[in-house]
């Protein structure tokens, strides 16, 4: 009798209260409590280990030879006070990224024996070499028609120029990739790329 046969795989709607987030499935109890939790500032057991993996009993750490911690870089660039992670100002992040482009530009220059870099946005009938980061024209997908170069700060002032990659036999690019390009930019509005220099490990 087909009318009296029960379904072997019940649907979620067959269980009362399934759509209510405060209730749990009969077979799968909800791990979350429906009562409101205490405020974060009034929590107890701060610093207490509630779970661990492996044996950590009786471990003792010791060293020999008197190790010392040494900070690299200029003292004014080292952290002197605590800061909140991911709360940096946009201008500070921009400064770090611009510095990174300059560092990688020096690496590209040494590795490939490049003479120097020119502006990416000035009209150039002859071949020039420019430095910058790969970007997208704003439609959300990087393809051969949407590739831009955001020029470095020193030579291009951070200006961007569309790239024509039709003369390259092969390439593989991703957004924010630091590259050096050789090509012509006769109008100052689009660069025809003839050679691509990448940072290699």
The tens digit of pLDDT for each residue in 39-77 reads 766 777 777 777 776 666 666 666 677 777 676 777 666
181 contacts 196 by C-beta, under 8 angstroms: yes
Q: Which residue has the higher pLDDT, 145 or 163?
A: 163
pTM of the model: 0.57
Total domains in the chain come to 1
Please give the Cα distance from 198 to 177 (Å, whole number). Answer: 9
Q: Work out the average pLDDT over 183-200.
A: 91
Flag whether 166 is in a domain: yes
Q: Is 142 helix (H, G, I), strand (E, B) or coil?
A: coil
Can you give the CATH number for the domain in which 178 is found? Answer: 2.40.50.140
- Closest among 147, 153, 140, 143 to 183, alpha carbons compared: 147
168 contacts 183 by C-beta, under 8 angstroms: no
Q: Please name the residues in contact with 71: beta carbons below 8 A apart, sequence gap of 6 or more.
A: 78
Look at residue 128 and tell me whether its pLDDT is greater than 50. yes
Flag whether 86 is in a domain: no
At 97 the pLDDT is: 87
Look at residue 152 and tell me whether its pLDDT is greater than 90. yes
Which of 1-5, 50-54, 145-149, 188-192 has the least mean pLDDT? Answer: 1-5
Structural domain of 121: 111-197
């Amino acid at each position: 009798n087909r009318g009296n046969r029960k379904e072997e795989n019940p649907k979620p709607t067959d269980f009362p209260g399934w759509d209510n987030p405060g209730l749990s499935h009969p077979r799968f109890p909800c791990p979350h409590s429906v009562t409101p939790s205490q405020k974060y500032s009034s929590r107890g057991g701060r610093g207490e280990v509630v779970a661990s993996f492996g044996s950590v009993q009786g471990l003792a750490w010791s060293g020999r030879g008197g190790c010392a911690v040494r900070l690299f870089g200029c003292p004014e660039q080292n952290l002197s006070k605590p800061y909140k992670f991911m709360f940096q100002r946009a201008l500070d992040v921009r400064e770090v990224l611009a510095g990174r482009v300059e560092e990688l530009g020096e690496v590209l220059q040494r590795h490939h024996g490049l003479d120097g870099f020119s502006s990416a946005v000035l009209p150039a009938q002859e071949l020039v070499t420019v430095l910058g980061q790969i970007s997208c024209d704003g439609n959300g997908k990087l393809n051969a028609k949407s590739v831009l170069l955001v020029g470095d700060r020193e030579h291009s002032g951070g200006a961007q120029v569309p790239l024509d990659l039709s003369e390259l036999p092969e390439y593989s690019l991703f957004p924010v990739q630091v590259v050096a390009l050789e090509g012509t930019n006769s109008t100052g509005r689009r660069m025809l790329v003839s050679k691509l220099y990448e940072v290699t490990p």
